[in-house]
Structure 1
Amino acid sequence: MKKIFMLSILFAVSAPLFAQSLKDIGTLVLLNKYADAKTSVDKFLAEPKNESSADAWYYKGRIYNALSYDTVNPRIEAMGLKSTSFDAFKKYQVLDAKDTRMKEEENASFLNLYYGFYDLGATFFNKKDFDNSTNAFKKALEVREYINSKKITYKETNVSAIDTSLILNVAIAATQAKKTSEAAAYYKKIVDAGIAGPGYLEVYQFLADYYAKANDQANLQPLLTQARAKYPENEFWDEVELNTVPKNTEDKTALYAKYDELLAKNPSNYNLNYNYAVEYYNSLYGNDGKPKDPVAAKAKLTSVLTQAIKYDKGVDATVLMTNHLYNIAADLSSAAVMVKGTKPEDVKKKAELKKQANAKMDELIPYAEKALKYYSEQPTLKGIQKGNQKIIVGYLIEIYGMKGDKAKVAEYEKVKAGLPN
């Protein structure tokens, strides 16, 4: 009998500790006793019969958010408390169709959570904790989007439909955290919203590079169309598109086709023309795979270089043309030397080859002189420019020597002697 009596006493004493009412929880909140209030509201909601209490979820939101500001708690715990608070407030609004308590305070709690997550994101970022910074900024964006979805308005501030700064913060933090795909997803929000301007160029460049590396043509092509429309002077888009062409040093058909496609849209693009010329030049005279039709390739290179020279503010294209024409002339001269026969047709062929070689030398001279004039007018020359200058002077000495023009040979020998080492 005593044992039964003792258990009854224990039950009677313990019962009030677990029988917290909403009124008691509300009192603890009013007294700012949030730690005690947290224990009480958690116990209250642990009871299945209380799970549908809208007021209890409202109090939980208030309590957890308040505790998130306690500096005793690490910032990572603060973020967890805020996340629980946000979920609790949303649960309250589901259970209370009239949204009585939140409306009484003008839903200020959501705005408070938005600013709170934003500040946490900045704090984590400054501490170089980029993973948590990304997550905090994402939560801020989630709260903001929830506010807009519920059409909640505030007297003191206007929560616009899109917060570009916050979206950029998410993307930048994700990039720093090496979460490239996540960063791309948030940068895409900027693009999808049609936002552009000097401050957003890198957004489009990041996405173009990301899609290109992933070989995601379905997203890359629409992105490049938008990017070219918004930043038409920027040549990055052409570079990205060219880089999507599989690298093949033996067969450059696909690469040449891409250059032709891009140049058809923008024929005055100097870099596009010059780089195209370099590809052909390396194929003809370098270590890349030789073209199947060298004659056609040389004619194409001449055509592309002629176009590049029109828009060249320096002489790089002119120098490349000089080298190209010299190589053609040298090949023709060598071919003439190789004709050893004495038959009329051999003599005719040899003479024709010499004539063609001389024509290419004559064609070369104006380009060579233009390049030398440019170099002579520069206050200083880079190492590669000095090298080109010596090569071109050598060309002219050789050409005029073959022509038997001693005066010109002497003139350029003098120029050669005056060149810096």
Structure 2
Amino acid sequence: MKKVLLTVLLGATGFGLYAQKLDKAKDLLGKKKLNDAKTEIDGVVAAEKTASNSDAWYTRAKIYAEISKDSSLKGSVPDAREQVLASLKKYTELEDAREKDPAKRYMAATLDGNAALIDVYSGYSKDGASFYNASNYNDALTNFKKTLETFDILYAKKIVPMALDTTTTLYAGISAEKANKPEEAAVYYGKIAEAKAKSDGFVEIYKWLADHYRQKGDVATSQKFSALGKEVYPQDPFWTGFDLEMLSEKGTKADLFKKYEDVIKENPDNHIFLFNYAVELYKEGYNEDVTKRPANSKELINKAAEMMKRTLEKKPDYANANMVMGQILYNQGVDVNTENKAIRPQGGTKLTPDQLKKKEELRLEVVKKFDEATPYFQKVVDLLDKQAKLKMDEKEILKNALDLMITVNEEKTAQLESKRNAAELAKKAAEVKQYEADIKKLQDQTTAFTEKFNNVDRKH
């Protein structure tokens, strides 16, 4: 029994000794004997018996805070501010464990006006700004990070009401971006976006995030920030175009087409969305090699033609749309012509009457498709050829339109020549005369188109 009592008394004596050292450290702090105060307090927090004393850790934060502001001392203790922050973190951790009632926590800091905490926040913030203004973005980022760490403690202690230090977070993101650390920039910008912060220029943060994750191939996260941007800045036209472009690059065709359907419902008068949707449908449905087309190729191509016609209803003078509509019809004619050429005599025998009938039907269908395509190509020529100056892509469109009109006329001429030859053999003079007139007309047109084709670059 005596032995146990003696041990308790020895423990009490030891604790009392360190309590005296804590009081001494406080006294030295009050007398501005900061080096001595630092020695005393470091001994207190290093001792096992007082390492869990929250008051000791707060006192240590105050001492190091004073050292960080003393021009004659801070050079010898370069990590003084870091020690303040570390001590404050330990202080809050111990207070949280010691007192279950939040109202009774952090009394020492509260009575002190949270001076140490505010000092360290202000110090890191000022240094961050100084490094930023000097274009030292790595050190700026380091200090802004520490500023935010301190802010988290301020918020946890309910000293500040807001959960996000928007300005510091913004500059941390900018510093990271300028320091070529995009992943860190994304973390800080992401906090701003997730808080749905809105201010002058903040729309660019949402755009940056959406594009950053698109480039990484993270479609879901990109869409998340695009959706947040659209929610906060609904009038900005960027979002719809961005989502469509991203799905075109990274998403599935099913998702892309569904998005187009939704966008067109929301923007029924926007001819660009209709045009781009038609192009995407056609790209998916058409391949020069028929064997490489998808099973639903016809449905896709027909839907593309429908969307392109709707585009032209909204904007009849849209050269691109006229060109693509003409190409769709022209390529359908080429497909039919390919089918026609595949019907050939086998083994030296002649074509059967049914085969001859089928070839004539297909020939007429080719001509029909080419005739349908021609007005669209002609519209391109009418729109662009009269302009004094064309952009490079407009020159290309005009030349393609003329080239296809030449090809169409040459094909129709070949068809008529075949018919004329057949009529001559049958001695049908009236038909021969009409065929020759039609051939002459097509040849004259072809010559005119060829001259225009050759003059595009010189004229424009």
TM-score by shorter chain over 0.5:
yes
Q: Which residue of 1 aligns with 2:394?
A: 385
Q: Which residue of 2 aligns with 1:39?
A: 39
Cα 1:332–1:88 shift into 2, 3 Å: closer
Q: Which residue of 1 aligns with 2:57?
A: 57
Equivalent AA in structure 2 for residue 240 of structure 1? M
Q: Which residue of 1 aligns with 2:168?
A: 166
User: Which secondary structure does the structure 2 equivalent of 1:266 belong to?
Assistant: helix
Deviation at 1:411, TM superposition (A): 4.3
Confirm or deny that 1:122 pairs with 2:111.
no
Deviation at 1:99, TM superposition (A): 4.8
Confirm or deny that 1:146 pairs with 2:153.
yes
TM-score (norm 1): 0.74
Equivalent AA in structure 2 for residue 169 of structure 1? Y
Computing the radius of gyration from Cα coordinates, the structure with the larger value is 2
Q: Whole-Å Cα distance in 2 between the matches of residues 106 and 58 of structure 1?
A: 12
> What value does the CA root-mean-square deviation take over the aligned residues?
4.0
Name whichever of 37-46 and 210-219 sits farther off: 210-219
Deviation at 1:264, TM superposition (A): 1.9
Partner deviation per Cα, 1:139-197 (whole Å, 9 max, x = no partner): 322322322332226xxxxx644322222233344445666555444434333323346
Q: 8 Å contact 1:336–1:353 — kept in the other structure?
A: yes
Q: 8 Å contact 2:25–2:40 — kept in the other structure?
A: yes
Any unmatched runs of 5+ in structure 2? Answer: 1-17, 345-349, 413-437
Deviation at 1:57, TM superposition (A): 2.9
Partner deviation per Cα, 1:267-305 (whole Å, 9 max, x = no partner): 256257526625633762468943335544432332343
Q: Which residue of 1 aligns with 2:13?
A: none
Q: Which residue of 2 aligns with 1:199?
A: 201
Q: 8 Å contact 2:285–2:298 — kept in the other structure?
A: no
Name whichever of 66-75 and 134-143 sits farther off: 66-75
Equivalence map 1:229-378=2 (5 Å): 229-232=231-234, 233=237, 234=239, 235-245=241-251, 254-255=252-253, 257-267=254-264, 268=268, 270-271=272-273, 273-274=275-276, 277-278=279-280, 280-281=282-283, 284-285=286-287, 289-292=292-295, 294-309=297-312, 314-340=318-344, 342-376=351-385, 378=387
Q: 8 Å contact 2:58–2:88 — kept in the other structure?
A: no
Deviation at 1:355, TM superposition (A): 2.0
Deviation at 1:34, TM superposition (A): 2.8
Q: 8 Å contact 2:281–2:304 — kept in the other structure?
A: no
Q: Which residue of 1 aligns with 2:113?
A: 106
Q: Whole-Å Cα distance in 2 between the matches of residues 118 and 99 of structure 1?
A: 23
Equivalent AA in structure 2 for residue 150 of structure 1? K
Equivalence map 1:219-230=2 (5 Å): 223-230=225-232
Q: Whole-Å Cα distance in 2 between the matches of residues 311 and 82 of structure 1?
A: 67
Cα 1:60–1:117 shift into 2, 3 Å: same
Cα 1:354–1:54 shift into 2, 3 Å: closer
Deviation at 1:349, TM superposition (A): 1.7
Cα 1:77–1:271 shift into 2, 3 Å: farther
Name whichever of 272-281 and 382-391 sits farther off: 272-281
Deviation at 1:209, TM superposition (A): 4.7
What percentage of residue pairs aligned between the two structures are identical?
Answer: 25
Cα 1:92–1:387 shift into 2, 3 Å: closer
Equivalent AA in structure 1 for residue 242 of structure 2? F
Q: Whole-Å Cα distance in 1 between the matches of residues 19 and 195 of structure 2?
A: 52
Deviation at 1:400, TM superposition (A): 4.3
User: Which secondary structure does the structure 2 equivalent of 1:68 belong to?
Assistant: helix
Deviation at 1:55, TM superposition (A): 4.7
Q: 8 Å contact 1:131–1:173 — kept in the other structure?
A: yes
Aligned residues: 390
Deviation at 1:79, TM superposition (A): 4.8
Q: Which residue of 1 aligns with 2:435?
A: none
Equivalent AA in structure 1 for residue 276 of structure 2? Y
Equivalent AA in structure 2 for residue 139 of structure 1? K
Q: 8 Å contact 1:60–1:85 — kept in the other structure?
A: yes
Cα 1:329–1:92 shift into 2, 3 Å: closer
